[in-house]
């Protein structure tokens, strides 16, 4: 059986897991924190690490990163608590083999350990494949007939796509796994196709760079990329590649591709399930928001009835204004909730980001002027027509500019000249940045931590608590990110970064 390192700051959890795993025949070593775990790992070299994600000091993510630096082939299983799905997915990106939710069920633990063992076995096989393929190319003229039958069975039996080339980059090995991923048959590519034509540009570029280096064994460690199959379908894969040498001469290359379509589908299902669960958990918050709106409607209707009964126009007007405000709050709450709960793919089209910013500011200038807030813009002239989803940009910016105006409105420092500044910038690294900055109340550290949680609002009964949650969802659907910096009493700046894709000229 394998050796397992258990890492958790709670001694009871470590003890229970140790007893269970030892009863299954595993050799178990333990640690009660991240730093101790690294020391134990270097001393004992376990095959598998089972670590809690939430620990004081060095957390589970850092333990994962350090373990992978020390021994990339070690398998790390992350233990998460309720609500840590984002951290769990982040852990998968850093190379975790699996994650388990607390409390840990025996069946789930057994499945996760079986997967880890399977991955360890696959890695060992892949190393054998690479070594055997290198020998096969080096000794092709002398031992090809003797080795080909054995190598063919190994390659054909692999679930991964294996593609090997000769020194001229012509494909000489294209196994059934590669046929499933790329969509081409072996006969279509063998000898007649170059890996530079078949592989994505980033993968082909890696081989070119390795070939240009001084003569030594070169390899590209496992990384994620996307290939385009024969029918034009983009397929997410994990890729590993190496050059094959005879003395100092490059004799060929070999690349391994793992199909990630099922894994990516499961990741999307996890995110979707977590979002639906979050909606269920926020029913109480929604009820509270509706209750506040109902109170407003009841108060307004009472004043309307009283005004009608006594012929008091002033009360009638005041009551009707209260009803209209709460109808507007109801509309905002419902639309935000629908937007957050509904899956939506971006609808990309040619648009002008600077014009969208100008439209948002024009729509809100009157509202801002009523409360003494000035809106100004600083638009990067280098941003022309791009391919984006204008609805997403417009909706996200409208939320942020509205919040910025409210931040000025709620500031008790009346001597300020309140301003909201909206700026666009084209970054050198191929992103468009939209900044919305105000000089209003600002936020404390505690408030910033809660910004993107369900039904959290600093506006009291005026807010729904969904605006920023919806904004972040819109931005992430566009493959972008949103960041915030703020200082209490000084103001706040939100920054949206979206991929820059210029529109093709007509």
Task: Give the model confidence (pLDDT) of 252-273 as tens digits.
Answer: 888 888 888 888 888 888 877 7
Q: Are 220 and 243 in contact (CB under 8 A)?
A: no
Of the listed ranges 29-38, 98-107, 459-468, 476-485, the least confidently predicted one is 459-468
Right CATH for 3-104 from 3.20.20.10, 1.10.10.10, 1.10.10.60, 3.40.50.2300: 3.40.50.2300
pLDDT for residue 190:
87
Residue range 346-367: mean pLDDT, rounded:
87
CB count within 10 Å of CB 372 equals 12
What DSSP letter does each residue of 368-387 carry, written as one string? HHHTT-EEEEE--TT--SEE
Higher pLDDT, 216 or 137: 137
Of residues 434, 277, 262, 293, the one with CA closest to residue 361 = 434
Find out if CATH 3.40.50.300 is the number for domain 156-261.
no
pLDDT at 340: 56
Using the predicted structure, report yes or no on whether residue 295 has a pLDDT greater than 60.
Answer: no
DSSP-derived 3-state class of residue 233: coil
The stretch 469-491 carries a mean pLDDT of 84
Identify each DSSP E strand in 380-430 by its residue range: 386-388, 419-426
- For β-strands 419-426 and 431-438, DSSP reports them as antiparallel
Q: What is the pLDDT of residue 297?
A: 67
Region of poorest pLDDT, from 286-300, 302-316, 437-451, 475-489:
286-300
Mean pLDDT, residues 329-340: 58
How far, in Å, CA of 467 to CA of 462, rounded? 12
Q: Give which of 254, 44, 290, 23 is closest to 151, Cα–Cα.
A: 254
Q: Which pLDDT value is given to residue 333?
A: 57
288, pLDDT greater than 50: no
Range in 39-48, 90-99, 253-262, 340-349 with the lowest mean pLDDT? 340-349
Lowest mean pLDDT segment, chosen from 8-17, 97-106, 163-172, 292-301: 292-301
Confidence of residue 344 (pLDDT cuts 50, 70, 90): low
Strand partners, 250: 245
pLDDT at 495 over 50: yes
Whole-number pLDDT of residue 296 = 60
Q: What is the average per-residue pLDDT within 64-93?
A: 82
Boundaries of every domain in the chain: 3-104, 156-261, 282-342, 344-506
What pLDDT band is residue 470 in, cutting at 50, 70 and 90? confident
Query: The CATH number of 344-506 is which of 3.30.565.10, 3.90.1170.50, 3.90.280.10, 3.40.50.1100?
Result: 3.30.565.10
Determine the average pLDDT of the residues in 324-329: 65
Q: Is 478 left (phi over 0), alpha (psi -120 to 50) or beta?
A: alpha
The residue-averaged pLDDT of 354-380 equals 88
- Tens digit of pLDDT for each residue in 192-224? 888 888 888 878 887 877 776 655 556 778 888
pTM check: above 0.85: no
Lowest mean pLDDT among 180-194, 265-279, 327-341: 327-341
Strands 3-7 and 27-31 come out as: parallel
pLDDT interval class at 388 (50, 70, 90): confident
All residues at 6 or more sequence positions from 196 whose CB lies less than 8 Å from its CB, including other chains: 169, 204, 207, 208
């Amino acid at each position: 059986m394998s050796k397992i390192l258990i890492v958790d700051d709670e001694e009871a959890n470590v003890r229970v897991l140790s007893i269970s795993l030892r009863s299954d025949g595993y050799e178990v070593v333990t640690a009660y924190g991240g730093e101790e775990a690294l020391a134990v790992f270097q001393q004992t070299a376990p095959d598998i690490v089972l670590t809690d994600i939430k620990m004081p000091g060095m957390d589970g993510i850092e333990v994962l990163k350090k373990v992978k630096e020390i021994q990339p082939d070690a398998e790390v299983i992350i233990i998460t608590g309720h609500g840590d799905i984002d951290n769990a997915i982040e852990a998968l990106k850093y190379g975790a083999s699996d994650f388990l939710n607390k409390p840990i069920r025996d069946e789930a633990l057994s499945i996760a350990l079986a997967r880890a063992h399977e991955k360890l076995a696959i890695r060992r096989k892949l190393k054998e494949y690479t070594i055997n393929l290198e020998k096969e190319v080096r000794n092709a003229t002398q031992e090809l007939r003797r080795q080909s039958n054995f190598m063919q069975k190994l390659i054909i039996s692999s679930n991964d796509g294996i593609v090997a080339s000769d020194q001229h980059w012509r494909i000489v090995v294209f196994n059934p796994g590669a046929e499933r991923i790329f969509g081409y048959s072996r006969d279509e590519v063998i000898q007649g196709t170059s890996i530079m034509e078949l592989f994505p540009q980033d993968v082909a570029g890696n081989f070119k760079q390795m070939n240009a280096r001084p003569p030594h064994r070169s390899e590209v460690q496992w990384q994620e990329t996307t290939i385009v199959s024969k029918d034009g379908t983009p397929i997410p894969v994990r890729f590993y590649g190496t050059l094959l040498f005879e003395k100092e001469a490059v004799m060929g290359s070999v690349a391994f591709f793992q199909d990630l379509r099922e894994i990516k589908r499961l990741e999307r299902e996890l995110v979707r399930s977590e979002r639906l669960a979050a909606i269920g958990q926020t029913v109480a918050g929604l009820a509270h928001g509706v209750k506040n709106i109902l109170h407003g409607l009841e108060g307004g209707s009472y004043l309307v009835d009283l005004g009608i009964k006594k012929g008091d126009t002033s009360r009638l007007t005041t009551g009707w204004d209260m009803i209209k405000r709460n109808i507007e709050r109801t509309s905002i709450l419902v639309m935000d909730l629908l937007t957050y709960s509904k899956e939506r793919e971006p609808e990309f089209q040619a648009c002008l980001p600077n014009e969208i910013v100008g439209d948002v500011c024009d729509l809100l200038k009157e509202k801002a002027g009523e409360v003494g807030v000035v809106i100004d813009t600083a638009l990067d002239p280098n941003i022309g027509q791009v391919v984006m989803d204008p609805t997403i940009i417009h909706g996200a910016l409208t939320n942020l500019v509205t919040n910025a105006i409210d931040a000025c409105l709620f500031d008790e420092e009346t001597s300020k000249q309140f301003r909201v500044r909206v700026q666009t910038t084209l970054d050198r690294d191929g992103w468009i940045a939209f900044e919305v900055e105000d000089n209003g109340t600002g936020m404390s550290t505690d408030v910033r931590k809660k910004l993107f949680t369900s039904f959290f609002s600093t506006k009291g009964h005026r807010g729904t608590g969904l605006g920023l949650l919806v904004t972040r969802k819109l931005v992430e659907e566009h493959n972008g990110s949103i960041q915030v910096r703020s200082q209490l009493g000084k103001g706040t700046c939100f920054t949206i970064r979206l991929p820059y894709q210029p529109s093709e000229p007509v």
